[in-house]
Amino acid sequence: MSKLLSLGRALEQKVREARMVYRFPKARQAREKWRNDDRAEGNGQHTVLLDIRSSIVDGEGGRRFHALVSLLLAADCRIWIKPHLRFFQSFHKCYKRQVMQKIEEDGELSPHRYDLCLSDRYSCHPRADKTLRITTATLRNIRANEIPFPYGMHPDVYQSGQGFELKPYREQQRIWKLFFGGHRSQDAYRKKSYYGHLPTTSRFEIIEEALDFYGDQTRSADSHEVFSEMANSEWDGFTFVDSDQYRLPGKEWLRTLSHANFFLAAPGTTYPMSHNCVESLAVGTIPVLEYASVFRPTLTDGVNCLTYKGKKGFRRTLSRLQDMEALEIERLRKGAVEYYDKYLGPERMVEQLMQADMSKLHLHAHLAKPAA
């Protein structure tokens, strides 16, 4: 089944790439628009060239590409790009367009030689000291010479600058026990077969279980006034904010998340991984999740997260969470922060990119087979 899915997705991408035949005029127009945009000259200790032809690196709405550039910039890199037309055929994607404003064009005034090149074309770029070939293969194991690109925070979190000043959030006083904020639509978050290696309980179902478990120990917000009151008071039950009732301010998301000891990291729409889980690790809010093996390396129950399997397992984990002592919670929080800094943070990522024994960057590692 996984081979059929891989072949199907490869064929789908070939069809998308073939659209370049009739998208050529718009791609050229998009490239010229980007060239004429006002962009501040970048700075950074490391010089990086992106020599990318295919739009398969984009991810959903350009999210993977946005995360790649955001993490490189946060790790003190200055970035240039070879403006291939095929790459610009998807310039209309929201997050791709946003982050392209932070990249310079490789040209006459660019460095003669780069510290690093990331490319879907070259394995050894003639103008770079180190080259990593980008691979976007899915539904297979990650090989020994491949760096799994970490799943990032939501692009809006990077765009607002929240994702890079984490110390205040990590030090914030925790006043909630368990928190969830976001969408839970039954139609949008129904069970999917997109990621067959790791069946998970859908987001809608798992939130329904949490609401049933906590009962009258649940509180929620339907307005800014109600939420402001919640944000200033302790709660030992379930703090639940449904985006259909009240949408949390995006620029305050990490601060809101860091009010809690635990975050219900329910799965996303088409595959388990969610941005919120990464964000919770970053601020030291302990994720409660069913897809720990999707992370590279896998998250570990009782070390940096709490895990469950199925609805019954989820209820057992909630009981365990409610009975947990403060010292144990603090140990798990420290483990979550250490995991983020060691495997998901920008500095660590650039260290990995420069490793001599690595020759490929697996950009869609969250769609590879789960770790054992």
Q: Using CA of residue 88, residue 93, residue 96, residue 100, what is the dihedral sign?
A: positive
Residue range 321-325: average pLDDT? 97
Query: Please, are residues 66 and 98 in contact by the beta-carbon 8 Å criterion?
Result: yes
Whose tokens are 């943070």? That residue is: 345
Rounded to an integer, what distance in angstroms lies between the CA atom of residue 45 and that of residue 73?
10
Helix, coil or strand: residue 157: helix
pLDDT the model gives residue 191: 58
Buried b vs exposed e over 159-186: b needs ≥16 C-beta within 10 Å?
beebbbebeebbebebbbbbbbbbebee
Instruction: Report residue 240: phi and psi, to 5°.
Output: -125, 120
How many CA atoms are closer than 13 Å to the CA of 62, on its beta-carbon side?
19
Percentage of the chain modeled with pLDDT above 90:
76
Residue range 206-220: average pLDDT? 97
3-state helix/strand/coil string of 166-230: CHHHHHCCCCEEEEEEECCCCCCCCCCCCCCCCCCCCHHHHHHHHHHHHHHHEEECCCHHHHHHH
pLDDT digits (tens, 9 = 90+) for 98-141: 999 999 999 999 999 999 999 999 999 999 999 999 999 888 88
Residue range 35-58: average pLDDT? 92
Q: Using CA of residue 277, residue 278, residue 279, residue 282, what is the dihedral sign?
A: positive
pTM reported for the whole predicted model: 0.92
pLDDT digits (tens, 9 = 90+) for 240-289: 999 999 999 999 999 999 999 999 999 987 788 999 999 999 999 999 99
Angle between helices 63-74 and 346-353 in degrees, nearest 10: 90
Rounded to an integer, what distance in angstroms lies between the CA atom of residue 281 and that of residue 21?
43
Helix, coil or strand: residue 67: helix
Taking alpha carbons only, the member of 89, 91, 263 closest to residue 179 is 263
CATH assignment of 160-344, among 3.40.50.1000, 3.40.50.720, 3.40.50.2000, 3.20.10.10: 3.40.50.2000
pLDDT digits (tens, 9 = 90+) for 54-95: 999 999 899 999 999 999 999 999 999 999 999 999 999 999
Domain ranges of the chain: 2-150+347-367, 160-344
pLDDT digits (tens, 9 = 90+) for 199-210: 889 999 999 999
pLDDT digits (tens, 9 = 90+) for 251-263: 999 999 999 999 9
